[in-house]
Amino acid sequence: MSIQWRGRFLDDFEVGDVYRSRLGRTITETDNTWFTCLTMNTNQMHFNREYAARTEFGEPLVVSSLTLAVVLGLSVADTSENAVANLGWGDIKLPGPVFAGDTLWAESEVTGVRESRSRPSCGIVSIRTRGINQRAEVVMEFTRSFMVFKASAPEVNDVFPVSEEPWTV
């Protein structure tokens, strides 16, 4: 018998379900500097240690769009691995700062589930997600909706290339 995790499909979501990321992700100074440069963010609070030292934070803040990207990414395995597309984002809040060296986890709660009116093989899932650091502090919250395939959708039929060759070891 072959067992493989294929992610959650529309059929697997129920309002009130809560998913916590299995993995955490530590943000490094290099992550922050590269992401800041990549996105052309010129706010010195993210890359100038001397400048940031004079502020109430005392050190550079991790750029919030990196925090968003990491928390979202941590939630994908639990929520949108089988998504067709993100449909919307809302209510992005940043209740606490993130610094290089902080480790983040994602926690998501399903707030809505319905079938798509225009695509019979899909549905719409709405969630709220939050990023939590190693001190159990909430550092980010946001809402998101995405279109996700049903398990029976022809687009997601198993694509693993099954070999008929016998094992040799």
Q: How confident is the model over 109-152, as pLDDT tens digits?
A: 999 999 999 999 999 999 999 999 999 999 999 999 999 999 99
Task: State residue 4's pLDDT score.
Answer: 72
Task: State residue 2's pLDDT score.
Answer: 63
Q: How confident is the model over 2-22, as pLDDT tens digits?
A: 667 788 999 999 999 999 999
Report, as an integer, the average pLDDT of 20-35: 96
Domains of the chain by residue range? 10-153
Closest CA to 129 of 91, 103, 98, 101: 91
The alpha carbon of 129 is separated from its chain's Cα centroid by a whole number of angstroms, namely 8
Residue 157 banded pLDDT, cuts 50, 70, 90: confident
> Cβ(1)–Cβ(140) under 8 Å?
no
Torsion of CA 21, 26, 27, 30, to 10 degrees: -140
Task: State residue 154's pLDDT score.
Answer: 87
What's the DSSP call for residue 136?
S
Task: State residue 104's pLDDT score.
Answer: 98
Task: State residue 1's pLDDT score.
Answer: 62
Q: How confident is the model over 38-97, as pLDDT tens digits?
A: 999 989 999 999 999 999 999 999 999 999 999 999 999 999 999 999 999 999 999 999
**pTM reported for the whole predicted model:** 0.90
Closest CA to 102 of 71, 143, 147: 71
Domain 10-153 has CATH 3.10.129.10: yes
